[in-house]
Structure 1
């Protein structure tokens, strides 16, 4: 029996290719699956056996103490960055969700604008940079304020600051939101609410012994608002707050302040005004800058200022020629107070030394602005932003008999860089609203 022939050996580099098969075809080259792996280079190290390090322990990742991680997270630029970091792992989330961290972050980083508040909450929409955080807040919070006391006819927002909203009790005929444009000739009931934690605190009424002198002077208006929280307040476990009440009378203006630390109202005296002055101050919008609340009395060409620390009023003359101008008050740098007017194609800036430092005349600068060609109106403000209502002058509604309602656009204007951020578009034309600033729910701490 013939022995089996040995398997053919592959040709070397010097050998000719194998002859054709009996069918006359050359053999097919091997497929990729059949191809042997390439030989290693002569000087390449041989690969270790696959199980050479099978028993070696895995490399340990370096571990940073929680205190160092907390300091790193505190140095992130925005609240959105912290929210993204907290989603990375459970240990990061535990650090950023702890109440001490959230309070420290709030004290170090200013709260972004998330929307504005009137009868409802209008969350910032794209392309506003805070739109994702605003959407998350709107889902997590109760902006219907269903947790407010139900013993009043209606609660209407009077101010919003530091994640809190101040409400006053009004007749149901006013409706929520409309009271911001009205007046109150009595000391109304007040509630401070936190829509995210769904908590509220009723502010006690002004005691009779404090209220009696004001009532004798002929009370024209009671305007309550929230004082800004200090860095110490934001770090405090009790999250204290202050409510200020400006009382306008026929010939003077008085101020009261309530502190949640003491649970009591205090009277801080009054300043005399002329009758015309008082009537002009009745309907003016409040601004806040450099620790002072300000009311522009444009008919009288005066600026009424309340120092929120000393609780003292002062009066400053406005620059002459205020017809057809609606000013916003801002910090102009270098110890100066500024008045900003948004014209058709220009920004008019008036500035002078801060009252009480030294005398000086108003200086005036006019420059072209990058804002769209809109009809602008300031409907809200705080120390860093204006809330603007704009209607395009290209809309057919202007200068025509068109019955179609124009698009009403709402913007936040950052005062330092004069950066315009569109927040909302609707058909609803608001005369007044409150800027709402806060943090994403992941890092928000209860304010009450």
Structure 2
């Protein structure tokens, strides 16, 4: 077979037309071969030559306020505290009162513990344990700065970093008065344990108090109103105190504003005598802008709109024996009642009365709950959490020869996701306590 024809050779660089360059002289010797020694001795190209010392280039300048806006977008107060520790410039921004006011208006304060006769900070593994420990070390929860003209000051409410106290006889002791009643208007003080400041609330004027006292006053219950976004941005940190007055046949409400320094009466609503007596010892809840009291003997729900200061009454679902409800927002414009049973959660819900007149029947759902097999009691609540006291059913309640009391565990139950967070373990059995929210000391602002 004949060999295949050889293809023509490709053009080489030598075959191509060279560019026009200046030829060296014929007598110029060719360049010497390149060696490593020559490379060491040869001068560096200009790009690699060492440069004389020169002043550092100026750092890019961020527009004024941009760092503050970035820090405001951090998800938690702990993130801001860590950022503030990075450098003095960051710390100067986050420690300024304007920033702290804006942060408080945008971010709900984390749950740091609960308060009764003492402060019980959240402990590990609770996510707020580091901030709670820092707060407990920096604040005065002995409240040694309260006025000295009362036998004893007892906490009545805690909200937005403030604690409301009422003056009581020393025989009551701090904390025990939270479950008791007062048949007259009592002296009140609002305190900030972190800044160690307090503000005395003036007494209800006689002209406002006299008509109520003539109706057979059974109880005066003072509590703090939630701060609005405007309140949180205000440099003067205003606050409001509400006083619910229960009489033999009616319930009345008064409100004090630190903006005006005055009390106002917002009228009263008629009640039956049995209704009033049932309302004496009920725990207060707050949900969807309303304060609520469960009157389980009467199968009624007493509600106070914090905006209009008007009372209304809602029927509870029937069959309330052996049930202790918590009130919560059930989503989609509904009010919910939650009961923690042995192995189930019972949820009752209906349209919020102001939405559709409140005529709808209660709907009921039962679901297995993820809680340990404990004996549970609800001892406190706010808009987002229940404060639960739990005692393990494994502890020998009866017939035990041991004199040792059981460990009593205190949990926060986040209502939206039904997430359980253990906060504290103690031998002390509390019947009632106030959840305490606040910020790490690095970014806290005085509330008074």
Q: Structure 1-normalised TM-score?
A: 0.88
SS of the residue 1:244 aligns to: strand
Tell me what 2:22 maps to. none
Tell me what 1:62 maps to. 60
**Of 338, 343, 354, the match for 1:345:** 343
Aligned ranges 1:163-202 → 2 under 5 Å: 163-202=161-200
SS of the residue 1:212 aligns to: helix
Cα separation, 2, equivalents of 1:150 and 1:217: 33
Cα separation, 1, equivalents of 2:90 and 2:248: 58
Cα separation, 2, equivalents of 1:162 and 1:282: 26
Q: 5+ residue gaps in structure 2?
A: 1-35
SS of the residue 2:256 aligns to: strand
Residue 379, structure 1, aligned to residue 400, structure 2: no
Tell me what 2:15 maps to. none
Tell me what 1:233 maps to. 231
SS of the residue 1:409 aligns to: strand
**Structure 1 residues 342 and 89: alpha-carbon distance in aligned structure 2, compared to 1, 3 A threshold:** same
Cα separation, 1, equivalents of 2:264 and 2:367: 45
- Cα shift at 1:372: 1.0
**Structure 1 residues 66 and 126: alpha-carbon distance in aligned structure 2, compared to 1, 3 A threshold:** farther
Cα separation, 2, equivalents of 1:86 and 1:377: 40
**Of 295, 298, 301, the match for 2:296:** 298
- Cα shift at 1:399: 6.2
Tell me what 2:211 maps to. 213
Tell me what 1:336 maps to. 334
- Cα shift at 1:46: 7.7
Tell me what 2:82 maps to. 84
Cα separation, 2, equivalents of 1:62 and 1:139: 39
CA contact (8 A) 1:86 1:93 kept: yes
Cα separation, 1, equivalents of 2:215 and 2:298: 22
- Cα shift at 1:344: 1.0
Tell me what 2:318 maps to. 320
- Cα shift at 1:59: 4.6
Tell me what 1:388 maps to. 388
Residue 156, structure 1, aligned to residue 154, structure 2: yes
Residue 369, structure 1, aligned to residue 337, structure 2: no
CA contact (8 A) 1:397 1:404 kept: no
- Cα shift at 1:165: 0.2
Cα separation, 2, equivalents of 1:334 and 1:362: 14
Tell me what 1:126 maps to. 124
**How many residues of Structure 1 are paired with residues of Structure 2 in the alignment?**
409
**Structure 1 residues 62 and 281: alpha-carbon distance in aligned structure 2, compared to 1, 3 A threshold:** same
Tell me what 1:24 maps to. none
**Of 280, 292, 299, the match for 1:282:** 280
**Structure 1 residues 255 and 399: alpha-carbon distance in aligned structure 2, compared to 1, 3 A threshold:** farther
Deviations 1:180-218 (A, max 9, x none): 011000100000000011100000001111111111100
Deviations 1:353-385 (A, max 9, x none): 001322200000111111111111110111111
Cα separation, 1, equivalents of 2:398 and 2:384: 31
**Structure 1 residues 249 and 64: alpha-carbon distance in aligned structure 2, compared to 1, 3 A threshold:** same
Cα separation, 2, equivalents of 1:351 and 1:402: 44
SS of the residue 1:357 aligns to: helix
CA contact (8 A) 1:257 1:266 kept: yes
Aligned ranges 1:108-123 → 2 under 5 Å: 108-123=106-121
- Cα shift at 1:419: 1.1
Q: 5+ residue gaps in structure 1?
A: 1-37
SS of the residue 1:180 aligns to: helix
Tell me what 1:255 maps to. 253
- Cα shift at 1:63: 3.2
Tell me what 2:421 maps to. 421
Cα separation, 1, equivalents of 2:258 and 2:77: 28
Tell me what 1:310 maps to. 308
CA contact (8 A) 1:397 1:403 kept: no
SS of the residue 1:356 aligns to: helix
Cα separation, 1, equivalents of 2:319 and 2:355: 25
